[in-house]
Each structure stands twice: as structure tokens, then as C-alpha cells.
Amino acid sequence: MRKVAIMGVGMTKFGPTEKSQVELFAEAAMEAINASNIKTKDVQALFLGNGLGDFEEGQLNLAGFCANELGLPPETTAMRFEGACASASVAIRNAFLLVASGAYDIVVAGGTERAFSMGTSLATRTFAMGTDSKYEEFSGLTFPGVFAMLAHLYANKYNIPLPKLKERMAMVAVKNHKNGAKNPLAQFQKEITVETVLKGFVVADPLQLFDCCPFSDGGAAVVITTDEIAKKHVEKPVYILGAGQGSAGSLCRQKDYTIMPSRIASAKQAYKMAGVGPKDINMAEVHDCFTIAEIVLLENLGFYDFGTASEAVEKGETEIGGKIAINPSGGLKAKGHPVGATGAAQVYEIVKQLRGECGARQVENAKIGMTDTLGGDAGTIVNLILGIQK
């Protein structure tokens, strides 16, 4: 396997837009290509994460349109990757594996999405397509509903009174909004308080509005290449040290999903490949689609023992400057969650952080960062570990 590095990265501002998915991806990808000091003709493959482009714009086969938009040569391999909310991370992991194996030297990977534009009702409906459409969707289960049930499971399992857990969940939202307020590309650049969260309307009991990430539009992309090529083009290549991916079935098959075997397996693969453990990670961009999701994943990734992460949040250990900075970008909660682009935006943030380019939200002395992206109800999980040293 060859050493693999990221050169340039790019992303659009997240939030409502009138731009199309191709236009959003083109902006992000051209920024990444320009920052890599390469020409579009140098790109051999384009791996595009996209969740619901068909429903958002009546558009299939987006990857080819994106390749042509960027002026990539006709011999370019262009493919869409769909793993629900983890789509871009699946695309990036595959780009990493195929560059490592020698199949390609330079790949643009990322994603695009226009979920905000669908409106809440259709977006809620289409997002719910990530649950089992034979045996679960007819109950009217929504994604807030999946994580609302997780919150009740978690509170009961660890004997944390629900009001206490909800207060700690609110602190996750407060932290991520605090970070997002310092991110000029975030959908919400506004700080909130615990009271803001606890006063919001109920979406799916016990989750209230500010426990939930927004529907978003946006694009993000990264250029993935070999160590040798990266060193010739950019000053600070960021290395992909490890990558993992796991899978799972319907919610009903997963039993107690406070412990997600697909996530644990994915993280284990990534740690093993990188030769590091949870204690070596300085910061992580993680899938906080709902506040309870961030608490549970901190345990599944091995950062905290099972049942203890909500207390760590309360103590401020996951803030920038804390024990481990979680979602310095503002996370899905404040930065926004354009499904197909999310994983690439997570990588964008870690790369910028490792290069020391994050200004007011900079995590000091960060050497190793991790991403965690969840698709569906844990049906697809991807973890990437990035570092500035090989």
C-alpha cells in the first residue's frame, strides 16, 4: 500500500442556497483543485457522495455531470457513492484505498446535497428512507425518532435521570454552536444557551428543535493523492493514516444500539491501520446529527467508557482546549448537514486544523484528528484518522 495524502480541500458555505448540486460541488472541487496546485486534467477519478439528489432535483448520474462541469478528461472515472449521511466519507475512503493500491494517482472526492431546499416535510420523509422500508418505515419512524428512542434507552440503561441527560445533551448543542459561531462557513454562526435548547418545540420526545441538526445545502471536496505527488505540490500534506468502515441492518436487528457494533468495528479498523488508539486522538469531527448521538458515539469510538460521556460533556472536556476537542467546526449541529457532503466537510475541518488555519476555533498543538460519519441508523459507518506526520 502506498502512503496517501490530502492536498487541497474546499467547501461552500453550508445553509440555504439557490445553487444546484452540480454548482455546489463545482465550487468546492475547484477550490480543492486550485489549492492543490494541479490542473483539472491531472485528476483521474471523481468520487461523489450524494444521498438524495434524485428527490432534490430529479437528477440521477450526478458524478458524470460533475466531472464534465470541472472539465475532467473523458477517461475520468466518475462515480456516485451512496451510504445515506455517510456518503462522502464512503467516497473518500474508497479514493484512499484506490490511491493506496496504485489504481489512481489523483482523485477528487467529496459530496453535494440540497436537503434544505426540499422543505421539512419531504426532507423528513426522504431522510427516513434510510430506515428499513419493508418493516419499519410504515410506523412513521423519523431520524429524530431513532435518536429519541436512543436517548430513552441510554437514560434507562445508565440510570441517568432524563432531565439530567437532557441538560447534558443541551450542552452538546451549546458547545457546537459556540464553535460554529467562529466558523464563517457554518449555517448557524450564533451562540445559544441551555435554556434555548430546553425551550425549543418537541420534534420527537425527548428531542427538541435544538437537539437536532438542520437540513442543509452545500458541497465539499478534497484532493487525494500519493505522498510523493503531494510533497511536490503543497507545503503541508495531511496524511490519511487509517480508515475503517462498518455495516449494520435495520434498527430492530441491532438490539441495544447504545453500543453500535458497526461503529466499533469501523473505528477499530481505523485505529489498527493508523497504529494509534483513542488516547492519541487530539480532536475529532463526529456525527452529531442529534445531541444524544454525539454522547453515544464518544463511547463507541473509545474516547470514554460506556455511560460516562454525558458527564464529560458537562465538565467541558469536549470543548476546544478540553481533553479532546469534539466538533471544532460546529459539527452537523451548527455547521450544517448537507448529507452527501458531510463527511468531506469533516475532513476539510481536520485538514485545516492540522495546518493551523482555523483562526478563532483553532485547536492548539493538534497532531492527529479523526472523523466519524454515520449513515442511516448505523447501517454505514466510516472513520478516518488524519495526521501531519506519516
Partner 1 sequence: MVTYKLPHKEFNEALKSGKLMGFKCNSCGAYTCPPKINCNECASMDMEVVEFKGRAEIKSYTIIRVSPEGFESEVPYIVALAQLEEGPNLVGNLVGVDPDKVTDEIIGIKVKIGWKPAPPEVKYCGPIGKDGKIKPEMVAITFSLM
Catalytic residues: 85, 337
Per-residue x/- marks for partner 1, 37-76, CB under 8 A?
------------------x---------------------
Q: Are 145 and 211 in contact (CB under 8 A)?
A: no
In the complex, minimum distance from the CB of residue 154 to partner 1, in angstroms, rounded to a whole number? 9
Contact status, residue 111 vs residue 341, Cβ threshold 8 Å: yes
Instruction: Using the minimum distance from each CB to partner 1, give the nearer residue, 250 or 362.
Output: 250
Cβ at position 141, least distance to partner 1 in Å: 5
The correct pick among 1, 102, 135, 316 for binding partner 1 (CB under 8 A) is 135
Site string for partner 1, 352-381 (x = CB under 8 A): ------------------------------
Q: Which element (helix H / strand E) includes 224?
A: strand 217-226
Is 295 near partner 1 (CB under 8 A)? Answer: no
- Spatial separation of the C-alpha atoms in residues 39 and 32, rounded to whole Å: 11
Listed residue (65, 64, 109) closest to 89, CA to CA: 109
Q: Which is nearer to partner 1, 167 or 227 (CB)?
A: 167
Segment 150-179, which members bind partner 1 (CB under 8 A)? 150, 152-153, 155-156, 162
- Kindly determine how many residues on this chain lie close enough to bind partner 1 according to the rule CB under 8 A: 43
CA–CA separation, 292 and 111 (whole Å): 25
Closest CB to partner 1 among 168 and 361? 168
Cβ–Cβ contacts within 10 Å for residue 196, how many?
17
H helix runs in the chain, sequence order: 21-35, 53-57, 62-70, 87-101, 120-127, 143-157, 162-180, 194-199, 227-233, 261-274, 291-300, 309-314, 331-335, 342-354
- Check binding of 88 to partner 1 (CB under 8 A): no
Going by C-beta distance under 8 Å and a sequence separation of 6 or more, which residues neighbour residue 74? none
- How many Cβ atoms sit within 10 Å of the Cβ of residue 126? 17
Please report how close the Cβ of residue 258 comes to partner 1 at its closest, in angstroms: 10
Q: Cβ closer to partner 1: 35 or 259?
A: 259
The residue among 9 and 52 lying less far from partner 1, judged by its C-beta, is 52
Q: SS3 of 274, please?
A: helix
Cα angle 308, 386, 73 (rounded to 5 degrees) comes to 135
User: Is the CB of 134 or the CB of 279 nearer to partner 1?
Assistant: 134
Q: By CB under 8 A, is residue 136 in contact with partner 1?
A: yes
* Member of 102, 140, 275, 321 binding partner 1 (CB under 8 A): 140
| Binding residues for partner 1 restricted to 248-287, rule: CB under 8 A | 250-255
- Give how far Cα 305 sits from Cα of 260, 280, 298, Å: 14, 16, 9
Please report, as residue ranges, which positions from 185 to 244 form the binding site for partner 1 (by CB under 8 A).
201-207
Q: How far is the CB of 293 from partner 1 (least distance, A)?
A: 14
Contact residues for partner 1 (CB under 8 A)? 55, 120-122, 124-126, 128-129, 132-142, 144-145, 148-150, 152-153, 155-156, 162, 201-207, 250-255
